[in-house]
Structure 1
Amino acid sequence: MDAAGVKDAVHWLAMAAADPETCRWEWERNPLGVALLPAGRLWDVLIVPGALGRPTLNVLARVLAAPGPVLGDFGDARTGFFVPPGTAARWLGTGVRGAGDGSWIVVPYPGRATGGVRWLVPPDGTGRLTEPAVLELAMHEAAARLAGET
């Protein structure tokens, strides 16, 4: 990601905060390179167990020119897919947790390495998110492949 892409991504992510300017200022100076941002305003996050998360991302990468932002945590135990606001409240799926309105997400600074959570697909600053229906189909395909059905 080039400097302009990082700037656009930081701007877009910080817009989720109540005070974007203060958020950006603190985030850029945080030695851990992370910020705690509220979900539910610009995006929700669907958190998938790691065993299904990476295969789902692989399916998305095959069917979409560019999926929305995706987070991975330390050890790939969980994968978080950024989806439109309101998705978490409507999502039904075994083992999938939703972070929507009233939830907070640890978000790494784009383009900066951290020791824990990291971008698997960084935001591009345009607000692109993964459509829930496409994500659901990708999860089904990934689960079927894991089960040896395809």
Structure 2
Amino acid sequence: MTNAMWMQSVEWLAAAARDPRACKWEWDHGNGGVLLEAGRFWDVLSVPEPLGLLALDILWCEPLQVPGPTLVDCAAHRVGFFLPPDPASRWEGSGLRHLGKGSWVAVPPPYRSAGFLEWIIPPDGTGALHPALPLELALRQANGTLAVLAPLSEE
């Protein structure tokens, strides 16, 4: 990513903060992420790490679509997919958490990790997000694969 693209991704992500200037200052001078409100520019679907990593791998196999911003919390073992805001969405499944309007998400700067928070795919600054339908299909496929593999790991 070029410097201009990094700056664009910082501006795009910081726009979700109540005070974008303070957000950028904290990223530059602080040790961790900042809390950003979901539901305005993006929602986050948080899933268990094994499911999220496998779904992301499935999404990468689609040659016409590059996956959107994806965050991993290494301490909580969860993956967060940034997707368009949708107050009516009903994500269902074991361990799925939809973070929309009224939810807050700890977010590191797009150019480095912050504590246990790391970008697997940082925002590119264009506003590109994970489309909901391909994400849902990838999660279903990943869930099916994990269900098949679970009995094998118990042997």
| TM-score scaled by length of structure 1 | 0.89
Summarize the alignment of residues 32-111 of structure 1 with structure 2, pairs less than 5 Å apart: 32=32, 34-63=33-62, 64-75=64-75, 77-86=77-86, 89-94=88-93, 95-111=95-111
Aligned twin of 1:127: 127
Question: What does the per-residue CA deviation read over 1:39-63, in whole Å, with 9 as the maximum and x for residues that have no partner?
Answer: 1110000001112010000001111
In structure 2, distance between residues paired with 1:80 and 1:31: 20
* Larger Rg, first or second structure (1 or 2): 2
Aligned twin of 2:152: none
- Give, as a single letter, the amino acid of the residue that structure 1 aligns with 2:37: P
Aligned twin of 1:115: 115
Q: Which moved more, 1:94-103 or 1:20-29?
A: 20-29
Aligned twin of 2:30: 30
In structure 2, distance between residues paired with 1:57 and 1:100: 21
Summarize the alignment of residues 137-148 of structure 1 with structure 2, pairs less than 5 Å apart: 137-148=137-148
Question: What does the per-residue CA deviation read over 1:62-85, in whole Å, with 9 as the maximum and x for residues that have no partner?
Answer: 115311100001157100000101
Please identify runs of 4+ aligned residues in structure 1 that moved more than 4 A: none
In structure 2, distance between residues paired with 1:65 and 1:51: 22
In structure 1, distance between residues paired with 2:50 and 2:8: 31
- Unaligned runs of 5+ residues in structure 1 are none
SS of 2:34's partner is: strand
SS of 2:61's partner is: helix
Query: CA, structure 1 residues 124+102, in 2 after alignment: closer, same or farther (shift >3 Å)?
Result: same
RMSD: 1.8
- Give, as a single letter, the amino acid of the residue that structure 2 aligns with 1:113: S
In structure 2, distance between residues paired with 1:50 and 1:4: 31
- Give, as a single letter, the amino acid of the residue that structure 1 aligns with 2:35: L
Query: CA, structure 1 residues 92+112, in 2 after alignment: closer, same or farther (shift >3 Å)?
Result: closer
SS of 1:138's partner is: helix
- Give, as a single letter, the amino acid of the residue that structure 1 aligns with 2:53: R
In structure 2, distance between residues paired with 1:10 and 1:91: 30
Percent identity, aligned pairs only?
46
